[in-house]
Amino acid sequence: MSDQNPVFIPGPTNIPDRLRLAMQMQTRDHRAPDFVDTLLPVLEGAKRVFGTSDGKVILFPASGTGGWEAAVSNTLSPGDTVLVARYGMFSHKWIDLCQRHGLDVQVIDCAWGSGAPADRFEAALSADKAHKIKAVLVTHNETATGVTSDIAGVRAAMDAASHPALLMVDAVSSLASMPFEMDAWGVDICVSGSQKGFMLTTGMAIVAVSPKALAAMETAKLPRTFFSFADMLALNPTGGYPYTPPLQLIYGLRESLKMLEEEGLENVYARHSRLATGVRKAVAGWGLRLVAEAPALYSDTVSAIYVPDGFDSDELTNHIFHEYGVSFGVGLGQMKGRAFRIGHLGMLTDVMVLSGLATVEMAMADLGYPVALGSGVTAAQEYFRTSRPQKLRKAA
Protein backbone atom coordinates (compact mmCIF):
# COMPACT_ATOMS: atom_id res chain seq x y z
CA MET A 1 0.00 0.00 0.00
CA SER A 2 3.03 2.29 0.17
CA ASP A 3 2.35 3.47 -3.37
CA GLN A 4 -0.51 5.52 -1.93
CA ASN A 5 1.95 7.65 0.01
CA PRO A 6 3.18 10.85 -1.63
CA VAL A 7 6.86 11.22 -2.43
CA PHE A 8 8.86 14.06 -0.93
CA ILE A 9 11.74 14.05 -3.38
CA PRO A 10 12.49 17.16 -5.44
CA GLY A 11 11.45 15.38 -8.62
CA PRO A 12 9.99 13.46 -10.24
CA THR A 13 7.02 14.78 -8.31
CA ASN A 14 3.61 13.38 -7.47
CA ILE A 15 1.40 13.11 -10.55
CA PRO A 16 -2.22 14.29 -10.23
CA ASP A 17 -4.74 11.72 -11.47
CA ARG A 18 -5.98 14.30 -13.94
CA LEU A 19 -2.55 14.36 -15.59
CA ARG A 20 -2.09 10.60 -15.46
CA LEU A 21 -5.38 10.24 -17.31
CA ALA A 22 -4.38 12.87 -19.84
CA MET A 23 -1.22 10.88 -20.61
CA GLN A 24 -3.04 7.54 -20.64
CA MET A 25 -4.23 7.86 -24.21
CA GLN A 26 -4.45 5.64 -27.24
CA THR A 27 -1.91 6.05 -30.03
CA ARG A 28 -2.64 8.98 -32.31
CA ASP A 29 -1.12 10.08 -35.58
CA HIS A 30 1.37 12.86 -34.95
CA ARG A 31 1.50 13.50 -38.67
CA ALA A 32 -2.24 13.99 -38.96
CA PRO A 33 -3.22 17.50 -40.11
CA ASP A 34 -4.93 18.28 -36.81
CA PHE A 35 -1.84 17.72 -34.62
CA VAL A 36 -0.93 21.37 -35.15
CA ASP A 37 -4.07 22.27 -33.18
CA THR A 38 -2.59 20.45 -30.17
CA LEU A 39 1.06 21.40 -30.48
CA LEU A 40 0.92 25.14 -31.09
CA PRO A 41 -1.30 26.02 -28.09
CA VAL A 42 1.00 23.95 -25.86
CA LEU A 43 4.07 25.82 -27.09
CA GLU A 44 2.31 29.16 -26.64
CA GLY A 45 1.01 28.27 -23.17
CA ALA A 46 4.46 27.20 -22.02
CA LYS A 47 5.82 30.62 -23.00
CA ARG A 48 3.65 32.21 -20.33
CA VAL A 49 5.22 30.00 -17.66
CA PHE A 50 8.72 30.92 -18.85
CA GLY A 51 7.76 34.59 -18.82
CA THR A 52 8.58 35.23 -22.45
CA SER A 53 6.78 36.74 -25.38
CA ASP A 54 9.86 37.03 -27.59
CA GLY A 55 11.26 33.53 -27.16
CA LYS A 56 10.45 30.19 -28.77
CA VAL A 57 9.64 27.02 -26.79
CA ILE A 58 10.99 23.69 -28.03
CA LEU A 59 10.04 20.25 -26.68
CA PHE A 60 12.58 17.42 -26.87
CA PRO A 61 12.05 13.78 -25.84
CA ALA A 62 14.68 13.93 -23.07
CA SER A 63 15.31 14.88 -19.47
CA GLY A 64 16.77 18.21 -18.36
CA THR A 65 20.24 16.93 -19.23
CA GLY A 66 19.16 16.78 -22.85
CA GLY A 67 18.04 20.39 -22.52
CA TRP A 68 21.53 21.34 -21.29
CA GLU A 69 23.06 19.62 -24.29
CA ALA A 70 20.65 21.32 -26.67
CA ALA A 71 21.48 24.72 -25.17
CA VAL A 72 25.24 24.46 -25.69
CA SER A 73 25.30 22.46 -28.92
CA ASN A 74 23.03 24.87 -30.80
CA THR A 75 24.82 28.07 -29.82
CA LEU A 76 28.53 27.31 -29.26
CA SER A 77 31.57 26.02 -31.13
CA PRO A 78 34.40 23.70 -30.06
CA GLY A 79 36.90 25.59 -27.90
CA ASP A 80 34.48 28.36 -26.95
CA THR A 81 34.83 29.62 -23.40
CA VAL A 82 31.89 29.44 -21.00
CA LEU A 83 31.72 30.80 -17.47
CA VAL A 84 30.06 28.64 -14.80
CA ALA A 85 29.91 28.70 -11.01
CA ARG A 86 29.95 25.36 -9.21
CA TYR A 87 27.89 25.39 -6.01
CA GLY A 88 26.09 22.05 -6.09
CA MET A 89 25.69 18.75 -7.88
CA PHE A 90 23.69 20.04 -10.83
CA SER A 91 25.90 23.02 -11.60
CA HIS A 92 28.79 20.49 -11.44
CA LYS A 93 27.05 18.17 -13.92
CA TRP A 94 26.49 21.01 -16.39
CA ILE A 95 30.20 21.81 -16.16
CA ASP A 96 31.00 18.17 -16.91
CA LEU A 97 28.72 18.20 -19.95
CA CYS A 98 30.40 21.31 -21.33
CA GLN A 99 33.87 19.82 -20.84
CA ARG A 100 32.84 16.66 -22.69
CA HIS A 101 31.72 18.86 -25.58
CA GLY A 102 35.20 20.34 -25.93
CA LEU A 103 34.36 23.72 -24.44
CA ASP A 104 36.83 25.74 -22.39
CA VAL A 105 35.02 25.91 -19.07
CA GLN A 106 36.02 28.73 -16.72
CA VAL A 107 34.82 27.51 -13.31
CA ILE A 108 34.17 29.66 -10.26
CA ASP A 109 34.12 27.32 -7.27
CA CYS A 110 31.79 28.34 -4.45
CA ALA A 111 30.76 26.82 -1.15
CA TRP A 112 27.86 24.40 -1.36
CA GLY A 113 24.99 26.25 0.25
CA SER A 114 25.84 29.51 -1.51
CA GLY A 115 24.29 30.78 -4.74
CA ALA A 116 25.39 32.15 -8.07
CA PRO A 117 28.12 34.76 -7.32
CA ALA A 118 27.03 37.76 -9.37
CA ASP A 119 30.00 39.83 -8.19
CA ARG A 120 32.51 37.20 -9.27
CA PHE A 121 30.75 36.82 -12.61
CA GLU A 122 31.02 40.57 -13.11
CA ALA A 123 34.74 40.55 -12.28
CA ALA A 124 35.44 37.68 -14.70
CA LEU A 125 33.42 39.27 -17.48
CA SER A 126 34.97 42.70 -16.94
CA ALA A 127 38.43 41.14 -17.23
CA ASP A 128 37.45 39.46 -20.51
CA LYS A 129 38.23 42.41 -22.75
CA ALA A 130 38.38 40.26 -25.88
CA HIS A 131 34.94 38.78 -25.14
CA LYS A 132 36.20 35.20 -25.34
CA ILE A 133 33.48 34.11 -22.93
CA LYS A 134 30.52 33.19 -25.08
CA ALA A 135 28.05 32.11 -22.42
CA VAL A 136 27.36 32.32 -18.70
CA LEU A 137 25.63 29.22 -17.31
CA VAL A 138 23.61 29.42 -14.09
CA THR A 139 21.60 26.86 -12.13
CA HIS A 140 18.57 28.80 -10.91
CA ASN A 141 17.54 26.29 -8.25
CA GLU A 142 20.34 24.00 -7.02
CA THR A 143 18.40 20.90 -6.06
CA ALA A 144 21.28 19.34 -4.12
CA THR A 145 21.50 22.20 -1.63
CA GLY A 146 18.06 23.83 -1.65
CA VAL A 147 19.45 27.12 -2.94
CA THR A 148 17.76 29.54 -5.35
CA SER A 149 20.00 32.07 -7.08
CA ASP A 150 19.17 35.60 -8.18
CA ILE A 151 19.05 35.42 -11.99
CA ALA A 152 18.14 39.10 -12.33
CA GLY A 153 21.25 39.87 -10.28
CA VAL A 154 23.42 37.81 -12.64
CA ARG A 155 21.99 39.68 -15.63
CA ALA A 156 22.69 42.99 -13.89
CA ALA A 157 26.29 41.89 -13.37
CA MET A 158 26.63 40.97 -17.04
CA ASP A 159 25.18 44.33 -18.06
CA ALA A 160 27.51 46.15 -15.66
CA ALA A 161 30.44 44.45 -17.37
CA SER A 162 28.99 45.40 -20.81
CA HIS A 163 29.56 41.82 -21.90
CA PRO A 164 27.70 40.22 -24.85
CA ALA A 165 27.77 36.62 -23.56
CA LEU A 166 24.62 34.53 -23.68
CA LEU A 167 22.89 33.84 -20.37
CA MET A 168 21.78 30.20 -20.06
CA VAL A 169 19.74 29.07 -17.05
CA ASP A 170 18.82 25.66 -15.68
CA ALA A 171 15.32 26.07 -14.23
CA VAL A 172 14.47 22.37 -14.11
CA SER A 173 13.42 22.37 -10.44
CA SER A 174 12.04 25.91 -10.32
CA LEU A 175 9.91 26.52 -13.42
CA ALA A 176 6.15 26.29 -12.85
CA SER A 177 6.79 26.43 -9.09
CA MET A 178 8.57 29.76 -8.59
CA PRO A 179 8.46 33.01 -10.57
CA PHE A 180 10.59 33.04 -13.69
CA GLU A 181 10.82 36.09 -15.95
CA MET A 182 12.84 35.13 -18.99
CA ASP A 183 12.39 38.38 -20.92
CA ALA A 184 12.64 40.72 -17.93
CA TRP A 185 15.78 38.98 -16.64
CA GLY A 186 17.45 38.88 -20.05
CA VAL A 187 17.76 35.09 -20.16
CA ASP A 188 18.75 33.68 -23.55
CA ILE A 189 18.11 29.98 -22.98
CA CYS A 190 16.10 28.45 -20.16
CA VAL A 191 16.04 24.68 -19.66
CA SER A 192 13.31 22.85 -17.79
CA GLY A 193 11.69 19.42 -17.75
CA SER A 194 8.34 17.71 -17.53
CA GLN A 195 8.81 15.89 -14.21
CA LYS A 196 8.89 18.65 -11.58
CA GLY A 197 6.70 21.73 -11.53
CA PHE A 198 4.71 20.46 -14.50
CA MET A 199 3.89 17.30 -12.49
CA LEU A 200 4.33 14.86 -15.40
CA THR A 201 6.48 11.79 -15.93
CA THR A 202 10.13 12.22 -16.84
CA GLY A 203 10.87 12.29 -20.55
CA MET A 204 10.53 15.78 -22.00
CA ALA A 205 13.04 18.61 -21.96
CA ILE A 206 11.22 21.93 -22.24
CA VAL A 207 13.52 24.66 -23.56
CA ALA A 208 12.85 28.35 -24.19
CA VAL A 209 15.17 30.20 -26.57
CA SER A 210 15.56 33.96 -27.08
CA PRO A 211 16.06 35.68 -30.45
CA LYS A 212 19.70 36.35 -29.48
CA ALA A 213 20.30 32.66 -28.88
CA LEU A 214 18.59 31.77 -32.15
CA ALA A 215 20.92 34.16 -33.95
CA ALA A 216 23.90 32.40 -32.36
CA MET A 217 22.92 29.21 -34.19
CA GLU A 218 24.15 30.75 -37.43
CA THR A 219 27.79 30.56 -36.37
CA ALA A 220 27.72 27.68 -33.86
CA LYS A 221 29.85 24.69 -34.93
CA LEU A 222 29.13 22.06 -32.29
CA PRO A 223 27.35 19.09 -33.88
CA ARG A 224 23.68 18.50 -33.18
CA THR A 225 21.11 16.30 -34.86
CA PHE A 226 18.57 15.04 -32.35
CA PHE A 227 18.79 18.32 -30.41
CA SER A 228 18.69 20.69 -33.38
CA PHE A 229 16.76 23.88 -32.67
CA ALA A 230 16.65 24.65 -36.40
CA ASP A 231 15.01 21.34 -37.32
CA MET A 232 12.38 21.79 -34.64
CA LEU A 233 11.61 25.39 -35.49
CA ALA A 234 11.32 24.62 -39.19
CA LEU A 235 8.62 22.01 -38.63
CA ASN A 236 6.76 22.96 -35.43
CA PRO A 237 4.71 25.85 -36.91
CA THR A 238 2.77 23.38 -39.09
CA GLY A 239 2.59 20.68 -36.42
CA GLY A 240 5.59 18.81 -37.72
CA TYR A 241 8.40 17.10 -35.80
CA PRO A 242 11.80 15.98 -37.12
CA TYR A 243 11.18 12.57 -35.52
CA THR A 244 8.52 10.86 -33.42
CA PRO A 245 7.42 13.26 -30.65
CA PRO A 246 6.66 12.30 -27.03
CA LEU A 247 2.97 12.42 -27.80
CA GLN A 248 1.63 11.34 -24.39
CA LEU A 249 3.78 13.95 -22.65
CA ILE A 250 2.63 16.67 -25.02
CA TYR A 251 -0.99 15.87 -24.20
CA GLY A 252 -0.01 15.75 -20.53
CA LEU A 253 1.65 19.15 -20.79
CA ARG A 254 -1.46 20.56 -22.41
CA GLU A 255 -3.47 19.47 -19.37
CA SER A 256 -0.77 20.60 -16.93
CA LEU A 257 -0.82 24.09 -18.39
CA LYS A 258 -4.60 24.15 -17.96
CA MET A 259 -4.22 23.18 -14.29
CA LEU A 260 -1.60 25.85 -13.67
CA GLU A 261 -3.72 28.52 -15.33
CA GLU A 262 -6.84 27.45 -13.45
CA GLU A 263 -5.02 27.83 -10.14
CA GLY A 264 -3.31 30.97 -11.44
CA LEU A 265 0.46 31.17 -11.67
CA GLU A 266 0.68 33.71 -8.85
CA ASN A 267 -1.33 31.35 -6.65
CA VAL A 268 0.92 28.45 -7.66
CA TYR A 269 3.97 30.44 -6.60
CA ALA A 270 2.31 31.53 -3.36
CA ARG A 271 1.37 27.94 -2.53
CA HIS A 272 4.95 26.76 -3.02
CA SER A 273 6.28 29.61 -0.89
CA ARG A 274 3.78 28.73 1.82
CA LEU A 275 4.66 25.01 1.83
CA ALA A 276 8.36 25.84 1.90
CA THR A 277 7.89 28.17 4.86
CA GLY A 278 6.03 25.45 6.73
CA VAL A 279 8.90 23.04 6.15
CA ARG A 280 11.42 25.62 7.34
CA LYS A 281 9.36 26.19 10.51
CA ALA A 282 9.56 22.44 11.15
CA VAL A 283 13.32 22.36 10.58
CA ALA A 284 13.75 25.15 13.13
CA GLY A 285 11.46 23.27 15.52
CA TRP A 286 13.72 20.23 15.24
CA GLY A 287 16.75 22.37 16.06
CA LEU A 288 18.33 21.50 12.71
CA ARG A 289 19.67 23.83 10.02
CA LEU A 290 19.35 24.18 6.28
CA VAL A 291 22.25 23.78 3.87
CA ALA A 292 21.32 27.11 2.25
CA GLU A 293 23.49 29.75 3.91
CA ALA A 294 20.99 32.60 4.17
CA PRO A 295 17.23 33.20 3.97
CA ALA A 296 17.60 35.04 0.64
CA LEU A 297 18.84 31.76 -0.85
CA TYR A 298 16.10 29.47 0.52
CA SER A 299 14.39 27.46 -2.20
CA ASP A 300 10.61 27.23 -2.37
CA THR A 301 10.77 23.78 -4.01
CA VAL A 302 13.32 21.81 -1.97
CA SER A 303 14.93 22.09 1.45
CA ALA A 304 18.27 20.39 2.13
CA ILE A 305 18.71 19.77 5.86
CA TYR A 306 21.87 18.87 7.74
CA VAL A 307 21.57 15.96 10.15
CA PRO A 308 23.29 16.33 13.57
CA ASP A 309 26.93 15.34 13.94
CA GLY A 310 27.32 11.62 14.41
CA PHE A 311 24.28 10.72 12.30
CA ASP A 312 24.10 9.49 8.70
CA SER A 313 21.45 11.06 6.48
CA ASP A 314 21.44 8.02 4.17
CA GLU A 315 20.51 5.82 7.11
CA LEU A 316 17.63 8.19 7.86
CA THR A 317 16.20 8.20 4.33
CA ASN A 318 16.63 4.42 4.03
CA HIS A 319 14.86 3.90 7.36
CA ILE A 320 11.97 6.12 6.30
CA PHE A 321 11.60 4.19 3.05
CA HIS A 322 11.75 0.71 4.56
CA GLU A 323 9.73 1.39 7.72
CA TYR A 324 7.18 3.92 6.51
CA GLY A 325 7.09 3.52 2.73
CA VAL A 326 7.91 7.14 1.94
CA SER A 327 10.73 8.58 -0.17
CA PHE A 328 12.75 11.67 0.76
CA GLY A 329 15.74 13.06 -1.12
CA VAL A 330 19.17 11.69 -0.27
CA GLY A 331 22.26 13.85 0.09
CA LEU A 332 24.13 14.31 -3.20
CA GLY A 333 27.82 14.97 -3.77
CA GLN A 334 29.35 16.81 -0.84
CA MET A 335 26.06 16.40 1.03
CA LYS A 336 26.08 12.58 0.92
CA GLY A 337 25.56 11.26 4.44
CA ARG A 338 25.40 14.81 5.80
CA ALA A 339 22.02 16.08 4.65
CA PHE A 340 18.63 14.85 3.46
CA ARG A 341 16.19 16.73 1.29
CA ILE A 342 12.48 17.42 1.45
CA GLY A 343 10.92 18.16 -1.91
CA HIS A 344 7.89 20.44 -1.55
CA LEU A 345 6.86 21.15 -5.12
CA GLY A 346 4.21 20.08 -7.55
CA MET A 347 1.03 18.38 -6.36
CA LEU A 348 1.28 19.02 -2.61
CA THR A 349 -0.93 20.60 0.06
CA ASP A 350 -0.51 21.67 3.69
CA VAL A 351 -1.95 18.35 4.83
CA MET A 352 0.36 16.28 2.62
CA VAL A 353 3.41 18.20 3.80
CA LEU A 354 2.40 17.68 7.44
CA SER A 355 2.24 13.94 6.82
CA GLY A 356 5.77 14.02 5.49
CA LEU A 357 7.07 16.04 8.40
CA ALA A 358 5.42 13.66 10.87
CA THR A 359 7.07 10.72 9.11
CA VAL A 360 10.51 12.33 9.34
CA GLU A 361 9.96 12.92 13.05
CA MET A 362 9.01 9.29 13.66
CA ALA A 363 12.09 8.08 11.81
CA MET A 364 14.38 10.45 13.70
CA ALA A 365 12.90 9.25 16.98
CA ASP A 366 13.46 5.64 15.89
CA LEU A 367 17.13 6.39 15.21
CA GLY A 368 17.77 8.29 18.43
CA TYR A 369 17.98 11.82 17.04
CA PRO A 370 17.82 14.59 19.66
CA VAL A 371 14.40 15.61 18.32
CA ALA A 372 11.14 15.48 20.26
CA LEU A 373 8.06 14.07 18.56
CA GLY A 374 5.76 16.90 17.59
CA SER A 375 8.40 19.63 17.71
CA GLY A 376 8.57 20.23 13.98
CA VAL A 377 5.04 19.23 13.13
CA THR A 378 3.61 21.59 15.75
CA ALA A 379 5.66 24.48 14.39
CA ALA A 380 4.44 23.78 10.86
CA GLN A 381 0.85 23.30 12.02
CA GLU A 382 0.85 26.61 13.80
CA TYR A 383 2.18 28.36 10.70
CA PHE A 384 -0.29 26.67 8.35
CA ARG A 385 -3.20 27.19 10.76
CA THR A 386 -2.59 30.91 11.29
CA SER A 387 -1.59 31.84 7.76
CA ARG A 388 -4.29 30.16 5.74
CA PRO A 389 -5.06 31.88 2.43
CA GLN A 390 -8.08 34.17 2.45
CA LYS A 391 -10.12 31.92 0.15
CA LEU A 392 -9.73 29.02 2.59
CA ARG A 393 -10.89 31.16 5.53
CA LYS A 394 -14.01 32.11 3.54
CA ALA A 395 -14.75 28.49 2.71
CA ALA A 396 -14.52 27.55 6.38
Give the mean pLDDT of 263-278: 98
Query: 86-113 pLDDT, tens per residue?
Result: 999 999 999 999 999 999 999 999 999 9
Query: 296-323 pLDDT, tens per residue?
Result: 999 999 999 999 999 999 999 999 999 9
**Does 361 have pLDDT greater than 70?**
yes
Confirm whether pTM is higher than 0.85: yes
- Shared-domain flag, residues 193 and 228: yes
Query: 144-202 pLDDT, tens per residue?
Result: 999 999 999 999 999 999 999 999 999 999 999 999 999 999 999 999 999 999 999 99
**Does 219 have pLDDT greater than 80?**
yes
368 vs 27: which has the higher pLDDT: 368
Burial class from Cβ neighbours inside 10 Å (0-12, 13-18, 19+) for residue 303 reads buried
* Residue 375's CATH number: 3.90.1150.10
* Residue 55's CATH number: 3.40.640.10
- Shared-domain flag, residues 214 and 272: no
From 261, 280, 298, the end of a domain falls on: 261
Phi, psi of 190 (to 5 degrees): -120, 130
So what's the pLDDT on residue 248? 96
Buried b (16+ CB within 10 A) or exposed e, 44-56: ebbbebbbbeebb
Q: If pLDDT is split at 50, 70 and 90, which confidence band does 391 have?
A: low
CA angle 234, 72, 41 (to 5 degrees): 40
- Shared-domain flag, residues 255 and 278: no
Rounded Cα distance, 86 and 112, in Å: 8
Query: Kind of pairing, strands 133-139 and 104-109?
Result: unpaired
Query: 31-61 pLDDT, tens per residue?
Result: 999 999 999 999 999 999 999 999 999 999 9
- Shared-domain flag, residues 165 and 277: no
So what's the pLDDT on residue 390? 64
Residues forming a β-bridge with 105? 82
- Shared-domain flag, residues 361 and 297: yes
The total number of structural domains that make up the chain: 2
- Shared-domain flag, residues 224 and 300: no
- Shared-domain flag, residues 165 and 276: no
So what's the pLDDT on residue 3? 74
- Shared-domain flag, residues 46 and 118: yes
Domain range enclosing 352: 2-11+264-395
- Shared-domain flag, residues 35 and 184: yes
- Shared-domain flag, residues 101 and 124: yes
Would you list the DSSP string of 69-91? Answer: HHHHHTT--TT-EEEEEE-SHHH
Q: What is the DSSP letter of 329?
A: B
From 232, 261, 290, the end of a domain falls on: 261
Q: Please count the CA atoms within 13 angstroms of the CA of 114 that sit on its side-chain side.
A: 12
Give yes or no for a contact between 144 and 112, defined as CB atoms under 8 angstroms apart.
yes
Rounded Cα distance, 77 and 219, in Å: 8
Would you list the DSSP string of 280-297? Answer: HHHHHHHT--BSSSSGGG
Nearest Cα to 340, choosing from 352, 274, 359, 92? Answer: 359
Give yes or no for a contact between 15 and 347, defined as CB atoms under 8 angstroms apart.
yes
So what's the pLDDT on residue 275? 98
So what's the pLDDT on residue 395? 39
So what's the pLDDT on residue 239? 95
- Shared-domain flag, residues 369 and 310: yes
Please name the amino acid found at residue 26.
Answer: Q
So what's the pLDDT on residue 394? 35
Give yes or no for a contact between 151 and 138, defined as CB atoms under 8 angstroms apart.
yes
- Shared-domain flag, residues 314 and 371: yes
So what's the pLDDT on residue 396? 39
**Does 209 have pLDDT greater than 70?**
yes
Query: 58-72 pLDDT, tens per residue?
Result: 999 999 999 999 999
391 vs 202: which has the higher pLDDT: 202
**Does 1 have pLDDT greater than 90?**
no
Mean pLDDT of the chain: 96
From 261, 280, 303, the end of a domain falls on: 261
